[in-house]
Chain A
Amino acid sequence: MQTTPTEQTLVIDHLRFERNNITLLDQIHSTVNAGELLQVRGANGCGKSTLLRLLAGYLEPHDGAIFWQNKSITEQRECYQQNIHYVGHRNGIKSTLTVAENLKLQCALSNIRFEPTNAQAVLKKMGLQHITDKHAAHLSAGQLRRLALARLALTPNKIWILDEPTTALDTEGQTVLNELLTQHLTHGGIAIVATHQDLDKSHPTKMLHLGAANA
């Protein structure tokens, strides 16, 4: 809270969210500055994924607001969402396309020119270079997760929202993820990560424990 909020600060202001008339999230309050990582922790079912979906603009809070560039995200949803990379429980990979085609589709969605050499470099970084032309339907859970995380390296977005990104990843994959995060944060990006695992200590990390207030 000491650092002065800038244009690039994501402010979570007294968020409250109900599901089926039960208050799931209440009085969630935090700020994430450029170059910071917000790690969301909490027991299963305490609303981590819901908070992340709220931050990605998929859900609307019942009370409170989320501010980006000093403006509530509900007022600028489509603009705001273009800044986001969201990797959720479902990877968003089209199983009928090959690994390379999935990246190509991602570039098209981000309105960025698809450079085969760049895509190859990204796949190499993610350890997928040997299965470029394999259909995504035939990939393992860990490979699918790596391919989903390849999006992060492929197109530059300011805010990364990662929901349990380490699921199904091996230790090598987790190292790559930590490298990606380091690179993103040093370039002034924001990352919001829900995970039970300890991430690399070198990241400037803020913690948000959910469920503590309700307990």
Chain B
Amino acid sequence: MLKSLLTITHQEIVMTLRQAYSWITPLLFFVIVVCLFPLALGPDENTLNKVAPGIIWVGALLAIVMSIGNIFRSDAEEGHLDLLLLSAHPLTLLVLCKLISHWITHCLPLIVISPLLGILLHLNIHEESVLVISLLLGTPVFVLLGAIGSALVVGIRSHGLLLPILIMPLYIPVLIFGTGSMIAASANLPLASDFAMMGALVLISLAFAPLLTSAALRIGANQ
């Protein structure tokens, strides 16, 4: 069973990597959005350092919202979703496999490149490391919650901005604690509480999001 699930996850990653635009475009979007701010705000070190957490977090959030909408789309269009429902594995586990592979292909590149963008915004080493850790904790929540919304709109042909409207309010807590941890880092305050809260958010969404997503997908097939 575990072997089959690993195969499914692996195949998902292979599929995404073969469609390079699907993971490179959100990454480039993230880089460009963050790069625009130093140009717009001017090179002043204090200003940039102050707004850096907000810029990077909102940039990452928007990039993930862009990509998460497509997580079930090709499956629905190609009729593969019908097969997932007939699988020998619980749909919840299959959804989890898809989300893990989506996180690896879409979020990990963002996290890897974020310290580079941090240099642009004059973050010091301590702030950089906090940035990476907070993104590692925060992006899974973005993916997990985004999947619920994505599954809800999968039956709607052109959902446009409906998905961001549905899911972005749910991202607010992660955004607050994520940027909060970075602000605390720059003020040399203890970080444990922010990280603990984000860890809790990861665990809560890990427990419920795959279940809700698979329920939404079953409703989506019901039309």
Which A residues form the contact surface with B (CB < 8 A)? 56-60, 78, 81-82, 84-86, 88-97, 101, 104-112, 114
Contacts and interface: CB of A to CB of B under 8 A. Distances in A.
A91 B4 contact: no
A107 to B, nearest CB: 8
B126 interface: no
A60 B78 contact: no
Residue from the set A78, A84, A91 with the largest chain B CB neighbour count within 10 Å? A78
A114 B87 CA distance: 15
Given A82-B86, A109-B4, A90 B78 contact: yes
Given A88-B79, A92-B82, A92-B83, A110 B88 contact: yes
Interface in B71-94: 74, 77-80, 82-91, 94
A165 B85 CA distance: 20
Taking residues whose C-beta sits less than 8 angstroms from the other chain, chain B's interface range is 20 to 34
B124 interface: no
Interface of A is mostly: loop
Closest 3 CB pairs of A and B: A90-B79, A111-B88, A108-B7
A101 B83 contact: no
Nearest to A155: B88
B46 interface: no
B15 interface: yes
A111 B89 contact: yes
B80 A94 contact: yes
B83 A109 contact: yes
B90 A92 contact: no
A71 B166 CA distance: 38
Interface of B: 1, 4-5, 7-8, 11, 14-15, 18-19, 74, 77-80, 82-91, 94, 221-222
B7 A81 contact: no
A104 B11 CA distance: 9
Contact of A90 (B1, B5, B8, B82): B82
A212 to B, nearest CB: 26
Contacts of B85: 57-58, 81
A84 B94 CA distance: 18
A58 B82 contact: yes
Among A82, A85, A105, A106, max chain B CB count under 10 A is at A105
A195 B119 CA distance: 64
Contacts of A114: 7
A101 B7 CA distance: 10
Contact of B79 (A92, A105, A107, A111): A92
Contacts of B74: 94-95
Given A104-B7, A108-B4, A111-B89, A94 B222 contact: no
Contact of A110 (B14, B19, B87, B91): B87
B86 A97 contact: no
A67 to B, nearest CB: 19
Contacts of A97: 11, 14-15
Task: Name the residue in B15, B74, B82, B84 with the highest tally of chain A Cβ atoms < 10 Å from its Cβ.
Answer: B82
B18 A96 contact: yes
B170 to A, nearest CB: 27
B78 A92 contact: yes
